[in-house]
Amino acid sequence: MGGFAAAYGILSIDDELIVYTAKTATQFTGCQRGAFGTVAASHLTGVPVKANMVSGFITALQSAVLAIENELGTAGLARSPLTAPPLLMATRPPTPSRR
């Protein structure tokens, strides 16, 4: 299974995204189907399986998110990274009105 990240990769089959945690010579393991809002669906035999992201990118992204969570004091809260609600955008407090 050359070309696929050894760990923490994202596969696409048709319109479905699948996250996996590892791979062996013949299979992907730790799969979460229907990732990132896609729908888990049956697929015909022989449909191409594509690698969407490499593990290095995912690791870097996870590190960046953890750094932000540490800064906000929210690191370690139990949640799935694939089903977590979207991050809230930081906004400036309203400017006091001048009288």
pLDDT tens digits, residue range 15-49? 999 989 899 999 999 999 998 889 999 999 999 99
Average pLDDT over residues 54-63: 70
Residue 64 confidence (pLDDT): 84
Q: Does residue 50 form part of some domain?
A: yes
Q: Does residue 2 form part of some domain?
A: no
Half-sphere exposure of 16 (CA within 13 A, CB side): 17
Q: Does residue 80 form part of some domain?
A: no
DSSP-derived secondary structure letter, 78: -
User: What gap in Å lies between CA 59 and CA 56, rounded to an integer?
Assistant: 5
Residue 80 confidence (pLDDT): 54
Residue 65 confidence (pLDDT): 85
Q: Does residue 82 form part of some domain?
A: no
Q: Does residue 38 form part of some domain?
A: yes
* Structural domain for 34, as ranges: 7-72
Average pLDDT over residues 78-84: 53
Out of 29-38, 56-65, 84-93, least confident range: 84-93
Q: Does residue 92 form part of some domain?
A: no
